[in-house]
């Protein structure tokens, strides 16, 4: 959606489509220099265009791109056509009150509006919470590097700790996004993503993207565990303890050591928060009730609209003599057509919008399963790697003073 210039200003990857195209693609080449795969970023778009009617042309990445959604809408129209044909062959269908049909079709809207509004609010909150948790994980790695640089810790220790931190973040990203579906209703969800086959696939993907993050011995050890991204921080805590014992950092009883451990605990806690949308879904009883209400509302309104279509066409097909026999005024034709247009908006367009909101909220509630609401973890990872590399270069060559060095009494 966004133009190339705007995405570069926002720090987002440039689209692969030409800048002159009316709708720039957000399916950009991966930020990984060694990868030729596409990386979807649902947060890179030109928000200024959404205030104009050009928003109607922005289809890619929206809920309207979901074929399952259009399938449900199409079935509603089929039901309406079937009901209209049935009404056509029903005697005295022209006497059906349009007002009664309208009232009957709107009695579920209050319940749907309340439940759907709550679910959308909860879904977007979970999306932001998961994104914030992942950013806290990366911030913890940056802060650890800064703490160690301030103490003048040996470069190989700093490199090892930051490497472990990025390894944890990469494993978490791959664990969450390895089997990301395209859109709701398009694929069947996999029950077990922690078996040996998936673990092997995860590490093969890591070797293809960032082979330097782990040594062969570390890989053999970590591959034995499903939650290796979390267990890595046990190594980090153990290494920090060893450094305190050897005098490379202040001793364990010092506030500085406690501060460093707080950063490690912050990173560990953020792992749990980032995985919450992956492990904990909204209660089935709530989601199932909401989905059933939305579909029942769509089916009911499709039936009622079909009745109204059939009755209106029968009314317009009446001759003056036939209309007089059943006390109808042929001058009411314009009124009937107007009521039909209003019924189309209320009974066909409104249920379709409810389905669209449901589709969007389902995507946001599970950002690690559906591409349209995918959290751009890859971009955040690469940004963090660049920050760490820049900070390491800056810390290695202070402009007006010598590098700090924490020294213990000998």
For residues 270 and 151, the answer to whether their CB atoms sit within 8 Å is no
- In order along its 410 residues, the chain shows pLDDT tens digits of 333 443 433 344 443 333 333 333 343 333 344 443 445 677 777 788 888 888 888 887 778 888 888 888 999 999 999 988 888 887 766 666 667 777 777 778 888 888 899 999 988 888 889 889 999 999 999 999 999 999 989 889 999 999 999 999 999 988 887 755 555 554 545 544 556 778 888 888 888 888 889 999 999 999 888 888 999 999 999 999 999 998 888 988 999 999 999 999 999 999 988 888 777 888 889 899 999 999 999 999 999 888 888 887 777 666 555 555 555 555 566 677 788 888 898 889 999 999 999 988 888 888 777 777 788 888 889 999 999 999 998 888 888 888 888 765 44
Eight-state DSSP code of residue 15: P
Q: What secondary structure does DSSP assign to 153-197, as a single string?
A: --HHHHHHHHHHHHHHHHHHHHHHHTT-BSSTTSSPPPS--SSHH
Please tell me the distance from the alpha carbon of residue 369 to that of residue 178, in angstroms, as a whole number: 9
Distance CA 93, CA 331 (A): 18
Region class of 327: left (phi > 0), else alpha (psi between -120 and 50), else beta: left
Question: What's the helix, strand, coil split of the chain in %, to 5?
Answer: 70, 0, 30
Element (H, E) at 341: helix 333-344
Distance CA 61, CA 388 (A): 32
Alpha-carbon distance of 156 to 398, in angstroms, equals: 18
Token readout for 410 is 């000998």
Cα–Cα distance, 260 to 288 (Å, whole number): 45
- Cβ count within 10 A of residue 208: 12
CA distance 332 to 323: 11
Cα–Cα distance, 137 to 377 (Å, whole number): 11
Q: What is the 3-state secondary structure (H, E, C) of 79-141?
A: HHHHHHHHHHCCCCHHHCCHHHHHHHHCCCHHHHHHHHHHHHHHHHHHHHHHHHHHHHHHHHH
Dist. CA 130–CA 274, nearest whole Å: 4
Length of the chain: 410
* CA–CA gap between residue 250 and residue 233 (Å, rounded): 20
Residue 361, both tokens? 């909220």
pLDDT score recorded for residue 92: 64
């Amino acid at each position: 959606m966004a133009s190339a210039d705007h995405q570069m200003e926002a720090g987002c990857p440039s689209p692969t489509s030409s800048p002159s195209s009316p709708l720039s693609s957000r399916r950009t080449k991966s930020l990984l220099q060694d990868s030729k795969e596409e990386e979807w970023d649902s947060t890179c778009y030109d928000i200024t265009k959404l205030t104009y009617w050009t928003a109607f042309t922005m289809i890619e990445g929206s809920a309207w791109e979901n074929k399952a959604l259009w399938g449900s809408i199409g079935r509603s129209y089929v039901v309406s056509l079937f009901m209209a044909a049935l009404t056509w062959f029903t005697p005295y269908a022209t006497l059906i009150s349009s007002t009664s049909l309208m009232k009957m079709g709107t009695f579920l809207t209050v319940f749907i509006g309340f439940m759907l509004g709550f679910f959308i609010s909860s879904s977007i909150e979970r999306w932001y919470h998961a994104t914030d948790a992942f950013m806290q994980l990366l911030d913890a790695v940056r802060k650890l590097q800064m703490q160690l640089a301030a103490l003048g810790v040996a470069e190989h220790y700093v490199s090892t700790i930051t490497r472990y931190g990025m390894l944890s973040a990469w494993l978490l990203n791959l664990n969450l996004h390895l089997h990301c579906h395209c859109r709701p209703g398009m694929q069947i969800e996999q029950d077990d993503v922690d078996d040996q086959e998936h673990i092997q696939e995860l590490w093969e993907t890591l070797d293809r993207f960032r082979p330097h993050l782990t040594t062969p011995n570390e890989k053999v050890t970590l591959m034995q565990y499903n939650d290796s991204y979390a267990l890595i921080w046990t190594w980090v805590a153990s290494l920090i303890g060893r450094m305190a014992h050897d005098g490379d950092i202040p001793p364990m009883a010092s506030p500085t050591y406690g501060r460093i451990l707080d950063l490690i605990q912050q990173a560990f806690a953020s792992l749990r928060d980032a995985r919450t949308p992956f492990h904990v879904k909204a209660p089935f009883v709530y989601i199932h009730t909401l989905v059933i209400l939305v579909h029942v509302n769509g089916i009911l309104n499709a039936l009622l609209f079909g009745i109204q279509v059939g009755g209106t066409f029968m009314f317009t097909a009446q001759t003056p003599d036939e209309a007089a026999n059943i006390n109808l005024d042929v001058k009411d034709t314009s009124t009937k057509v107007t009521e039909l247009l209003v019924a189309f908006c209320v009974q066909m367009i409104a249920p379709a919008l409810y389905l669209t909101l449901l589709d969007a909220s389902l995507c946001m509630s599970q950002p690690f399963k559906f591409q349209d609401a995918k959290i751009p973890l890859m971009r955040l990872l690469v940004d963090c790697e660049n920050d760490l590399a820049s900070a390491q270069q800056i810390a290695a060559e202070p402009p007006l003073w010598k590098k700090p060095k924490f020294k213990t009494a000998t």
